[in-house]
Chain A
């Protein structure tokens, strides 16, 4: 691992404690993964923001880093454990809220933009093709690598923060072109549309990759059209079920790759099977959640069209980034949606909010949401299209 004079100085503590600890982390990772050098990064996305995950020790560490740490590049945050403004209405414990605010304050002190979204690329943290970045948040990592064509490993909270504070990351893994080549062709036979179906497809392909250690990067053919919302749903799902950080999609994504020889077919039957696994037959739905990953303006506008004038029968949340909600406010979508009883939860999501025990059954268009709804929160799950989710919200 070759370090420049600046890196050496950081290691020696000449740029302060936070830069020193950060360079120690990056240097060790570089050694472990046999990087030859550090590369500058232009964008960072930090995960590990919910107090429910960090706890007091995580907060303690962040506060220590914030003593003299300042980020050197554009850095944004993953969802927190609550809506930072509207947490009371959403039933968050005041003690938790106080601690969550301490976490956000520590990040803000370091110059990090407290967007609190898993879709930084929708609200101003948008790298371009080929840029080296250091992102955490598995769905955003997959989107950045695959859909945008930027280059990032799957960072954890501390290693992403270290990259932000130093402006560097060790050059290994997905930063190297040789590690971005596809291993297997996946041919999708059925036609796929909508966020829910793309999520199901993400699970099917993710499960295939998860079961075969030598295949990490798929070359997917058979998808002729996919919009950004469908791709964000697909990224979240394939990253959840397959640990996938990069895929190629013929005609859709911009990266170049050699075409592998082996080919796996995804059939209508495979999709039906995965759909069955995401749906529990006797699920008693008392919670409807849309916005995993965070809902886009297009999705919110669509919901406003569907719900005008009705009233919900079940607790229903739309999770989104605050800037997205602010535009929805201006356009009048928020007013229409909130008049039905549906609640907006900005800055947070159902994966990281402390909602275990509050609900029995979750209905969502997100395959990722189903995974964490079951695992973390012990909910039963129903997976269906956005339109069907809205129907469920209005049904007795």
Chain B
């Protein structure tokens, strides 16, 4: 049986990928290495893990608006996440995903998603499916 969540489209696109989940906020400027896609924020629960190719699931973005450009750089060099799922998307992540063509959805109960789960993200229609 598949579980389906309905959220809100932030940035369009459809993709399937493996979830990388954190319950902590994420700052892309300073928090993620723009060249490798590895999370470098000190004491973050995902510190040292790579977001490359993952469906990145976190509550909300934080930090400097320059973070939008970090997402753009990651996407351009193939080091970015394939999709982003948030509880509540704020400006930095929304703008970053739009300029980088990364599908993004928010208003999803992210606590029901576990790292390693395979997800289908249909951001255009605001849907997330778990197998």
Contact = CB atoms under 8 A, between A and B. Distances in A.
A, B bound = yes
A61 B10 CA distance: 19
Classify the secondary structure of B's interface with A.
Answer: helix
Contacts of A21: 98-99
A210 to B, nearest CB: 15
A58 B69 contact: yes
B91 to A, nearest CB: 6
Nearest to B10: A28
A293 to B, nearest CB: 19
A28 B69 CA distance: 17
Interface in A139-180: 156-159
Contacts of B34: 55, 57
A260 B67 CA distance: 36
Interface stretch (B49-57, B70-78, B114-122): B70-78
Interface residues of A, number: 22
Interface hub of B9, B89, B98 (most chain A Cβ within 10 A): B98
A269 to B, nearest CB: 33
B94 A32 contact: yes
Interface string A52-74: 01111110110000000000000
B6 to A, nearest CB: 15
B20 interface: no
Contacts of B106: 32
B99 A61 contact: yes
A315 to B, nearest CB: 28
A29 interface: yes
B65 A157 contact: yes
Nearest to B70: A57
Interface in B90-128: 90-92, 94-95, 98-99, 106
A24 interface: yes
B8 A159 contact: no
B65 A48 contact: yes
A28 B92 contact: no
A329 interface: no
A25 interface: yes
Interface string A11-53: 0000000000100110011011000000000000001100001
B31 to A, nearest CB: 15
A54 B91 contact: no
B27 interface: no
Nearest to A156: B65
Contacts of B76: 57, 60
B73 A56 contact: yes
Contacts of A28: 10-11, 94-95, 98
Contacts of B92: 156
B68 interface: yes
A53 B95 CA distance: 16
A60 B99 contact: no
B66 interface: yes
Interface hub of B34, B66, B99 (most chain A Cβ within 10 A): B99
A195 B55 CA distance: 49
A24 B98 CA distance: 7
Nearest to A48: B66
Interface hub of A47, A60, A61 (most chain B Cβ within 10 A): A61
Given A29-B91, A32-B91, A159-B91, A55 B98 contact: no
A25 to B, nearest CB: 5
Interface of A: 21, 24-25, 28-29, 31-32, 47-48, 53-58, 60-61, 136, 156-159
Interface of B: 8-11, 34, 65-66, 68-70, 72-73, 76, 89-92, 94-95, 98-99, 106
25 contacts: A24-B98, A25-B94, A28-B10, A28-B11, A28-B95, A28-B98, A29-B94, A29-B95, A31-B9, A31-B10, A32-B89, A47-B65, A55-B69, A55-B73, A57-B69, A57-B72, A58-B73, A60-B72, A61-B69, A61-B99, A136-B65, A158-B68, A158-B69, A158-B95, A159-B91
Given A25-B98, A29-B95, A60-B73, 5 more contacts: A24-B98, A29-B94, A53-B66, A58-B73, A158-B95
Interchain residue pairs A-B with the least CB separation, the first 7: A57-B73, A156-B65, A58-B69, A158-B95, A57-B72, A28-B94, A24-B98
